[in-house]
């Protein structure tokens, strides 16, 4: 039964959860209802806050298969609980709409992956069964994802599209024909509406949700209690503060919802054309799209309403919404394995692996290219929240909770205050019973002590420093969508940087070229644009092997391609739509040199020139393009010189990869040495290769050939050397971080040696430091995985002198702390492939490599995220700074992710810098440290405030018992602080101090010392406890010292006009009583003990504020916080003034006493002692 009761969904994924089944129990529900009535609704609130309690209190355990309610618990460190109601989806099948088999498959759970036997399903559907069927599917929705019951797996699984488990062959064979209307209707029932619905909640809903926050419920309880005890003025003041707080919070939350809603509304509803099985084109709303629909991409482009794989034609797409790069990307149709020469029929389609063939939701299709008579088509693979954009929005709507020691300690400290309140609660009850106080008053008095000990303004006070830090960050161009992360940024001790566009300039400059002739490198050439090279294969490769396109007449594309094309000075011409429509094939993009570069006459030796060809014309048409693939690290094109019989294949990419595709005899023997020389200097090196294709390869054959058939047996042509300059501020920023003992790590998709070189240039690796490259090899041919270690300075494959004994490396890694690292000065570097192998096969080495790894090259986006996780697992507080391109996952996962891109991809990043400069990193850390220290200061101050006030009230209350025991009479001093005394302390002193002491700006530079991460530390506890002892000591001294004075009287000053002291007054009543003759002081506030404690405690609040307002090294000194200084001076002067020179109206309001025949100044000394 246990297995039936507990399942795991999303196993092995980030959102893995345990699932438990429950059924509603009527008798439990009746008991809970009774409990809700008896507790005045408090039990209902408790169950609202605790989903686990709510389900367990009203339901009984049941098998997950048959349950009515599911209880979900995350398996991460937070162990959060959620509950969801099971719903039933009815599938009614009219005789004309869908097959019986489909309904059966759905009920058996097969519909969770509608990718199997679709040809059969379509055939069966055509049979049109006559008997109507009715089936029901059980499902629940959690975080905008539907989970359906699967009878085969005996578990709930989420509904998948065509993005998993579908081969590239089946994409063409089974899905390219489109869906019938009946099949579409069924899938529409299952997948629902294709929309990313971000509903902006109404103000009323947000208000209810905000008001039901435990903090506001506690405040409501406090206000009711104070009103019962005639605390009217104080209660009204707290209500006003709470209303202002709620309104500001509602405004901020609603503004974020509206911003997110506007972001996703771009593709909310548009009309799209889809192809049906009978080749009929149907126009439908984009919200009706389902996986399997064949969508026609319009000629004038569109914003994609779903994720779809391209099967016909070519698209130019702007993917800035997802990647943060506004560079247009060329998308080509998915290779069809059945017609490719060397096709891999078993290869599974994956949106990530086949990014160059996938159109993602939210991205903009700018242009399309197509065959005449054939439409540009794409098969819908994912819809709604399953799309890439949907997942991005989900990560914003349902963020992972922030785990920070400060917040855990704050809750622990609050529990300590509650424990102190509990002691006061019991003490109050016992004392009141001994003093024969009425039951109603005992209840009010004992509950009131809790509201004094746990200050209701604490959450607002704690967020003040964060709000001020957020404003200061905004002033320096850093925007924050997750304010709680600001405090965490104060703890960052490691920052990962992307290289291109972050540490270095975004663009590349062409430094020069180095051609190869007769298998030998020629001297480097700086100028490529000259008559000598204009017709060379090298320049032809530079002119054709790129993904550039013209958008509104402007050449655009990858920055590297742009620089390369601009360097040769050629002209690119694309066919217009009219020209394309006139031909029976795609009109090629044509490139040609400017006329001034062409010689006046063409050499007659060219045997392949047609007789009718004009000799002065030299043009190259790009026949087929294989886009750049980060997995393959290369791109290639098939091109044809106008008039040539044979076509040419050109390839460009990573030098090591290109060399491996070339004939060995064409690669110079010193290739590795030359390459190493350039990469060590920080240049980005691109290699070019070429070969003539067979004349039998016709235009149509080329369109269907696989890239593997093209990219082999090439002739190596040489190298293009690009210079990627460091940003001016990079070295200084990294030096500041190193001085502050903050580690820096480079995470890049670039070449290893280039990355190491840039790391040296920017100061990440010092000149004298050694860099060891870890090259991990996966298991192969029965051999186990192994790691080869090499010094980067002498890394060549032909040299064994650089190899390091593998046994010696673990010895070097034994010293894991920072001090030893600084002595050994070793840095480890590895590429993405090695990183993956080490994660999988060398888990024991991962922590040690994380402690010393500095350069991670050729890293894919998911590997960057894994690296951030690995660093966090060895207790680093990790910051990540990237330009938004491919860094989104890592930016979200890091403790402090800073995007240097303002495009939509950065919405998932907690921080976004308006200026694309890494100078934002130290600014953020400085503000984070200042905010963190402010939180500590405010928390300590608020804790002391509650303890001081708690002791003041307890001290005043205790005098009842003293007098009762001493006089053995029923004359009791029922004293407490007055209503306006409380109001003065809480509003004039506490609020003013809290909100001004939080204004200290951050210290101007980063220091090596880091602020503590939690409240539970020796120094912090000692400072709090010592202040508590001092404050309690002086209050007690003043309280007992005033009784020793000769003028001290236990009776009330107005006792001539009043009977014996009323024993029914409130113990802690802050009631608002204006002075009157008939009942001058029912609560007996006006007595010498009260006045003494009030003035002593008022000065103590100010003294504690100064003591806890820490400045250097994380914040500016408190004397530079002018608002704080002025506020303190005004409060000091005012309190001294009303104490030494009484003003009747003020004394009347505050219910203070003037001491007869005695100057008040004489009892300041004990406080000041």
What is the helix (H) or strand (E) element at residue 427, kind and residue range? helix 405-434
Specify the 3-state DSSP secondary structure of 362. coil
DSSP string, 452-512: HHS-TTHHHHHHHHHHHHHHHHHHTTEEES-THHHHHHTT--EEEE-TBTTTB-SS-EEEE
972 neighbors 958 (Cβ within 8 angstroms): no
Q: State the pairing for strand pair 853-857/878-882.
A: unpaired
Q: Which of 311, 293, 292, 295 is nearest to 303 (CA)?
A: 295
CA torsion 725-728-734-736 (nearest 10°) is 170
What is the helix (H) or strand (E) element at residue 563, kind and residue range? helix 559-568
Angle among Cα 605, 606, 609 to the nearest 5 degrees reads 140
Specify the 3-state DSSP secondary structure of 915. coil
Give the separation between CA 999 and CA 61, rounded to whole angstroms. 53
Q: Is 746 exposed, middle or buried (0-12, 13-18, 19+ CB in 10 A)?
A: buried
Classify residue 1124 as left (phi > 0), alpha (psi -120 to 50) or beta: alpha
Give the separation between CA 917 and CA 908, rounded to whole angstroms. 19
Structure token digits, residue 7: 């399942």
Phi, psi for residue 367 in degrees, rounded to 5: -140, 155
Specify the 3-state DSSP secondary structure of 352. coil
Give the separation between CA 886 and CA 891, rounded to whole angstroms. 10
Q: Which candidate in 307, 498, 561, 648 is catalytic?
A: 498
Phi, psi for residue 161 in degrees, rounded to 5: -100, -135
What is the helix (H) or strand (E) element at residue 148, kind and residue range? strand 145-150
**Residue 449 CA, distance from chain mean position:** 41
Q: Which of 176, 177, 193 is nearest to 310 (CA)?
A: 176
Max CA separation in the chain (angstroms): 132
Contacts of 1096 (CB under 8 A, 6+ apart): 1034, 1035, 1038, 1166, 1167
Q: Is 144 exposed, middle or buried (0-12, 13-18, 19+ CB in 10 A)?
A: middle
512 neighbors 494 (Cβ within 8 angstroms): no
Give the separation between CA 818 and CA 1097, rounded to whole angstroms. 47
95 neighbors 40 (Cβ within 8 angstroms): no
Give the separation between CA 1048 and CA 959, rounded to whole angstroms. 14
DSSP string, 652-720: EE-HHHHHHHB-GGGS-TTHHHHHHHHHHTTEEEEEEEEEEPPTT--HHHHHH--HHHHSSSBEEEEEE
Give the separation between CA 487 and CA 465, rounded to whole angstroms. 9
498 catalytic residue (yes or no):
yes
Classify residue 1077 as left (phi > 0), alpha (psi -120 to 50) or beta: alpha
Give the separation between CA 369 and CA 971, rounded to whole angstroms. 99
CA distances from 1119 to 939, 1027, 1111, 1113 (A): 20, 21, 9, 14
Positions marked active-site: 498
């Amino acid at each position: 039964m246990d297995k039936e009761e507990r399942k795991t969904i999303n196993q092995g994924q980030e959102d893995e959860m345990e699932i438990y089944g429950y059924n509603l129990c009527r008798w439990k529900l009746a008991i809970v209802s009774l409990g809700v009535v008896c507790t005045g609704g408090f039990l209902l609130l408790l169950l609202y806050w605790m989903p686990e309690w709510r389900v367990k209190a009203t339901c009984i355990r049941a098998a997950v298969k048959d349950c009515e309610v599911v209880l979900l618990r995350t398996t991460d460190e937070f162990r959060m609980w959620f509950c969801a109601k099971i719903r039933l989806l009815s599938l009614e099948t009219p005789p004309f709409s869908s097959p019986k088999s489909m309904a059966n498959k759905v009920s058996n759970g097969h519909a969770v992956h509608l990718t199997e036997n679709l040809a059969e399903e379509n055939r069966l559907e055509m049979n049109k069964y006559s008997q109507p069927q009715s089936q029901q599917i059980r499902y629940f929705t959690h975080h905008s994802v539907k989970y359906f019951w699967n009878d085969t797996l005996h578990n709930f699984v989420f509904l998948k599209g065509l993005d998993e488990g579908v081969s590239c062959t089946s994409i063409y064979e089974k899905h390219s024909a489109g869906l019938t209307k009946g099949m579409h209707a069924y899938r529409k029932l299952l997948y629902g509406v294709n929309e990313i619905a971000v509903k902006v909640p109404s103000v009323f809903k947000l208000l209810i949700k905000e008001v039901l926050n435990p903090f506001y419920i506690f405040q409501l309880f406090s206000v009711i209690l104070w009103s019962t005890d005639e605390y009217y003025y104080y209660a009204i003041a707290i209500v006003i503060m709470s209303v202002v707080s709620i309104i500001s919070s509602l405004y901020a939350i609603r503004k974020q919802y509206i911003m997110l809603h506007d972001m996703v509304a771009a593709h909310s509803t548009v009309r799209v054309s889809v192809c049906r099985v009978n080749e009929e084109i149907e126009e439908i709303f984009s919200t009706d799209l389902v996986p399997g629909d064949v969508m026609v991409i319009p000629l004038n482009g569109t914003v994609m309403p779903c994720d779809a794989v391209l099967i016909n034609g070519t698209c130019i797409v702007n993917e800035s919404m997802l990647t943060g790069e506004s560079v247009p990307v060329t998308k080509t149709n998915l290779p069809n394995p059945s017609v490719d020469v060397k096709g891999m029929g078993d290869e599974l389609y994956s949106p990530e692996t086949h990014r160059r063939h996938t159109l993602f939701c939210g991205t903009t299709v700018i242009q399309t290219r197509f065959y005449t008579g054939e439409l540009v088509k794409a098969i819908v693979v994912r819809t709604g929240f399953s799309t890439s954009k949907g997942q991005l929005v989900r990560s914003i709507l349902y963020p992972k909770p922030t785990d920070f020691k400060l917040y855990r300690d704050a809750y622990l400290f609050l529990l300590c205050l509650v424990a102190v309140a509990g002691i006061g609660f019991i003490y109050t009850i016992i004392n009141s019973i001994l003093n024969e106080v009425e039951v109603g008053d005992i209840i009010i008095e004992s509950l009131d002590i809790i509201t004094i000990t746990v200050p209701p303004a604490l959450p607002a006070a704690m967020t003040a420093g964060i709000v001020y830090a957020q404003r200061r960050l905004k002033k320096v161009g850093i925007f924050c969508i997750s304010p709680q992360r600001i405090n965490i940024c104060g703890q960052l001790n490691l920052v990962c940087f992307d290289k291109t566009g972050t540490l270095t300039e975004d663009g590349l400059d062409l430094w020069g070229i180095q051609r190869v002739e007769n298998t030998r490198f020629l001297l480097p050439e700086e100028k490529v644009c000259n008559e000598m090279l204009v017709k060379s294969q090298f320049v032809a490769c530079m002119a054709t092997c790129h993904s550039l396109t013209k958008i509104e007449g402007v050449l655009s594309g990858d920055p590297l391609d742009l620089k390369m094309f601009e360097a040769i000075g050629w002209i690119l011409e694309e066919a217009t739509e009219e020209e394309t429509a006139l031909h029976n094939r795609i009109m090629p993009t044509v490139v040609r040199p400017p006329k001034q570069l062409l010689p006046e006459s063409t050499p007659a030796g060219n045997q392949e020139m047609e007789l009718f060809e004009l000799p002065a014309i030299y043009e190259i048409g790009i026949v087929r393009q294989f886009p750049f693939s980060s997995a393959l690290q290369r791109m290639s094109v098939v091109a044809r010189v106008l008039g040539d019989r044979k076509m040419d294949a050109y390839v460009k990419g990573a030098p090591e990869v290109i060399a491996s595709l070339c004939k060995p005899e064409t690669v110079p023997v010193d290739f590795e040495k030359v390459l190493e020389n350039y990469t060590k200097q920080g240049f980005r090196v691109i290699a070019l290769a070429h070969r003539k294709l067979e004349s039998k390869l016709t235009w149509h054959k080329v369109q269907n050939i696989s890239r593997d058939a093209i990219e082999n047996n090439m002739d190596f042509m040489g190298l293009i050397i690009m210079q990627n300059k460091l940003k001016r501020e990079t070295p200084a920023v990294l030096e500041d971080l190193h001085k502050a003992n903050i580690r820096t790590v480079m995470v890049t998709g670039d070449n290893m040696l280039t990355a190491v070189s840039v790391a040296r240039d920017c100061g990440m690796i010092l000149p004298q430091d050694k860099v060891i490259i870890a090259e991990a090899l996966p298991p192969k041919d029965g051999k186990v995985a192994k790691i080869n270690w090499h010094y980067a300075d002498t890394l060549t494959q032909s040299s064994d002198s650089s190899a390091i004994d593998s046994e010696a490396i673990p010895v070097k890694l034994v010293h894991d702390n920072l001090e030893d690292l600084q002595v050994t000065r070793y840095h480890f570097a590895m590429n993405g492939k090695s990183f993956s192998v080490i994660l999988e096969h060398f888990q024991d080495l991962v922590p040690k490599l994380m402690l010393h790894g500095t350069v991670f090259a050729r890293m894919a986006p998911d590997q960057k995220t894994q690296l951030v996780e690995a660093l966090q697992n060895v207790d680093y507080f990790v910051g990540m700074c990237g330009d938004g391109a491919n860094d989104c996952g890592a930016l979200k996962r890091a403790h402090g992710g800073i995007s240097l891109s303002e495009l939509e991809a950065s919405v998932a990043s907690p921080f976004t810098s308006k200026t694309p400069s890494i100078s934002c990193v130290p600014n953020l850390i400085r503000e984070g440290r200042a905010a963190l220290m402010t939180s500590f200061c405010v928390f300590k101050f608020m804790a002391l405030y509650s303890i001081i006030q708690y002791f003041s009230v307890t001290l005043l209350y205790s005098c009842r018992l003293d007098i009762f025991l001493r006089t053995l009479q029923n004359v009791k001093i029922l004293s407490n602080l007055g209503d306006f005394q409380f109001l003065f302390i809480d509003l004039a002193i506490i609020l003013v101090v809290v909100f001004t002491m939080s204004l200290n700006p951050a210290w101007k530079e980063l220091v090596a010392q880091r602020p503590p991460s939690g409240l539970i530390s020796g120094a912090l506890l000692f400072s709090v406890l010592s202040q508590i002892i001092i404050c309690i000591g002086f209050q007690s001294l003043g309280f007992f010292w005033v009784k020793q004075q000769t003028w001290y009287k236990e009776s009330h000053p107005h006792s001539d006009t009043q009977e014996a002291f009323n024993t029914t007054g409130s113990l802690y009543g802050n009631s608002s009583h204006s002075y009157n003759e008939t009942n001058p002081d029912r609560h007996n506030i006006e007595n010498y003990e009260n006045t003494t404690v009030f003035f002593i405690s008022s000065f103590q609040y100010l003294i504690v504020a100064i003591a806890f307002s820490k400045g250097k090294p994380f914040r500016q000194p408190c004397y530079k916080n002018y608002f704080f200084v002025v506020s303190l001076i005004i409060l000091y002067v005012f309190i001294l003034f009303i104490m030494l020179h009484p003003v009747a109206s003020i004394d009347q309001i505050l219910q203070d006493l003037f001491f007869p025949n005695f100057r008040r100044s004489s009892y300041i000394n004990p406080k000041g002692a």
